[in-house]
Chain A
Amino acid sequence: GAVVSQHPSRVICKSGTSVKIECRSLDFQATTMFWYRQFPKQSLMLMATSNEGSKATYEQGVEKDKFLINHASLTLSTLTVTSAHPEDSSFYICSAKIGLAGDEQYFGPGTRLTVT
């Protein structure tokens, strides 16, 4: 149980275009989902916390207009990288929490974004 999927696993796009990444909880309802960014050989950096039915909470330094997050249902959150640039190339990982209680998160397999 507690499986989280991400789609796509890899995406290459041209500079200036937008890319949407989906994060789904497959066998549970996730009231809270998190989006992280990870550069090579580095740790995960939290970008935003997404709560179903409400606006996402962005971490300091993360542009909310550039990284659009939508959490329309209890099993789906999307991250759209708008007007992507090469410096947005990174590994994007989502995670989900089961309900409101407990601290454990379950991570998706990640999406490798390359902007050319």
Chain B
Amino acid sequence: TQLLEQSPQFLSIQEGENLTVYCNSSSVFSSLQWYRQEPGEGPVLLVTVVTGGEVKKLKRLTFQFGDARKDSSLHITAAQPGDTGLYLCASHQILHSGGYQKVTFGTGTKLQVIP
């Protein structure tokens, strides 16, 4: 079973600071998604990365996929209070030739941005 470790688990920063969240796996991802979840709501997809070394930008968020496709990072520039939430990485692993995909979520990073 693929394990996804996220670090840090908790992060409390002041508005305007930069931060990076990491997602690491024991095995290769076929693809990796980053989600943000607010309390009492379902996760919202931020980005999907597929190619090793890929970098995607979404406004102040920069997502990077490791060359070996076993790790990924999310960097937020000039964090805002609205960035507060639980950030989750998730991977899909094809378990057999029939195409069944097992989805595994990372351990999560809870971010609090203080005004």
Contact = CB atoms under 8 A, between A and B. Distances in A.
Interface residues of B, number: 24
Interface string B27-40: 00011010100001
A29 interface: no
A104 B42 contact: no
B107 interface: yes
Given A41-B110, A103-B30, A46 B104 contact: yes
A110 B105 CA distance: 16
Contact of B108 (A4, A36, A42, A106): A42
B102 A46 contact: yes
B14 interface: no
Interface residues of A, number: 25
Interface in A1-37: 4, 6, 34, 36
A100 B30 CA distance: 15
B51 interface: no
Contacts of A110: 40-42
Interface string B82-101: 00000010001000000111
Given A34-B103, A46-B102, A57-B100, A107 B44 contact: yes
B92 A95 contact: no
Contact of A109 (B31, B42, B105): B42
A99 to B, nearest CB: 12
Nearest to B50: A103
A interface, over-half SS: strand
Interface in A65-116: 91, 93, 95, 100, 103-110, 112
B45 interface: yes
A46 B42 contact: no
Contact of B103 (A6, A41, A42, A46): A46
A116 to B, nearest CB: 19
Contacts of B108: 42-43
A110 B88 CA distance: 16
A107 B42 contact: yes
A43 B104 CA distance: 10
Interface of B: 30-31, 33, 35, 40-45, 48, 88, 92, 99-108, 110
